[in-house]
Structure 1
Amino acid sequence: MAPVQDGDTLLLHFTSTRPDGEIFEDSRSGEPIRVTLGAKQINPLFEEALIGREPGETVTVVLPPEKAYGKFHRKLVVTVKRKKLNLDHEPVPGEFLKLEVMGRPCLVTVVDVDEKSITVDANHPLAGETITYTITVVAILPREG
């Protein structure tokens, strides 16, 4: 079979690892994911790394923060007065809340809680981190038509 080309539909397994080695995503415990190259389903850098690979081959892609989950922005860590939040429970640090930040709804992480205010972080939890992806080509599916 020919190596991976643009437009191929692939079955892939992958792991996503933080700089400290912690694996936070791993498809190997389930079915491989199905991806068509060129269909904007995965990061373009992954597509580029897969071109020319054969089934069974594994490639490692290291993405700096700006190519992965973005840089960490200090301005997205904000303290909000409790009375503005209409919370139905007592939040705890590490919990995710849906809030409006800078006029946009988003999922935030609770950083700190006190009597009058709550500090939240609207950055992606992996913002600012370099992420390593290990991707294995399980199969190249036959082209339809």
Structure 2
Amino acid sequence: MNEEVIKNTVVTLNYSVTDPEGTLVDAGKDPIVYLHGGYDDIFPMIEEALQGKKIGESVTVKMQPNDAFGEYDADLIEIEPRSSFPKELQVGMQFEGIPERGSEDDMLIYRVTEIADDRVVLDGNHPLAGTALIFTCTVRAVRPASDEEISHGHVHEHGGQCD
């Protein structure tokens, strides 16, 4: 069965992601499985490049920051009092929060980037914001999506029920 990547198929990809200098950003240890056809399960540029591909075919997509995780936004840096955080705080820890000029709909994941005596620096940017990326993938499997997957707009593990 040599399925083609078309709308409403579930696609499994082996992949890797590098920056323009060739530094590995994501080794793709686990394959990506997504619902093809404009469901926002994968970056649109990648989905467009995969349209019509068959099992075993590969694509390489070069994405500028705006095509991937966006430009770096200095306004997403927050400085908070150290007393607002747990005692066991480390650089790299993540917390959910709302930007200073945002609403509950703007919930972000903030990473701790610096800890000083009385303050903590948090960064609400995605770690890859501002980075151009090169996404290389090979189509490993393609199957028709179930009616339930299509109606829910995402893949269900093993084609099964939603949790």
TM above 0.5: yes
Partner of 1:35: 34
Per the TM alignment, residue 6 of structure 1 is displaced from its structure 2 partner at its CA by: 3.0
Q: Distance in 2 between matches of 1:19 and 1:95?
A: 27
Deviations 1:85-130 (A, max 9, x none): 2x22243333323344324543212222222211211111111001
Number of equivalenced pairs: 141
Q: Distance in 2 between matches of 1:114 and 1:97?
A: 17
More strand, by proportion:
1
Partner of 1:88: 86
| Alignment pair present for 1:98 and 2:96 | yes
More helix, by proportion:
2
More deviation, 122-131/132-141: 132-141
Partner of 1:57: 57
Partner of 2:17: 16
* Unaligned stretches of 5+ residues in structure 1: none
Per the TM alignment, residue 61 of structure 1 is displaced from its structure 2 partner at its CA by: 0.8
Q: Could you say if the C-alpha distance between residues 139 and 99 of structure 1 is closer, same or farther in structure 2, counting changes exceeding 3 Å? A: closer
SS in structure 2 at match of 1:69: coil
SS in structure 2 at match of 1:46: helix
Normalised by the size of structure 2, how large is the TM-score? 0.71
Letter in 2 for 1:80: E
Per the TM alignment, residue 58 of structure 1 is displaced from its structure 2 partner at its CA by: 0.8
More deviation, 52-61/34-43: 34-43
Q: Distance in 2 between matches of 1:22 and 1:89?
A: 35
Q: Could you say if the C-alpha distance between residues 2 and 91 of structure 1 is closer, same or farther in structure 2, counting changes exceeding 3 Å? A: closer
Q: Could you say if the C-alpha distance between residues 142 and 77 of structure 1 is closer, same or farther in structure 2, counting changes exceeding 3 Å? A: closer
Partner of 2:123: 121
Per the TM alignment, residue 75 of structure 1 is displaced from its structure 2 partner at its CA by: 1.2
Partner of 1:137: 139
Deviations 1:14-47 (A, max 9, x none): 11223443333334x44x4433321512222111
Partner of 2:111: 109
Normalised by the size of structure 1, how large is the TM-score? 0.78
More deviation, 117-126/89-98: 89-98
Q: Distance in 1 between matches of 2:123 and 2:145?
A: 45
Per the TM alignment, residue 143 of structure 1 is displaced from its structure 2 partner at its CA by: 7.1
SS in structure 2 at match of 1:66: helix
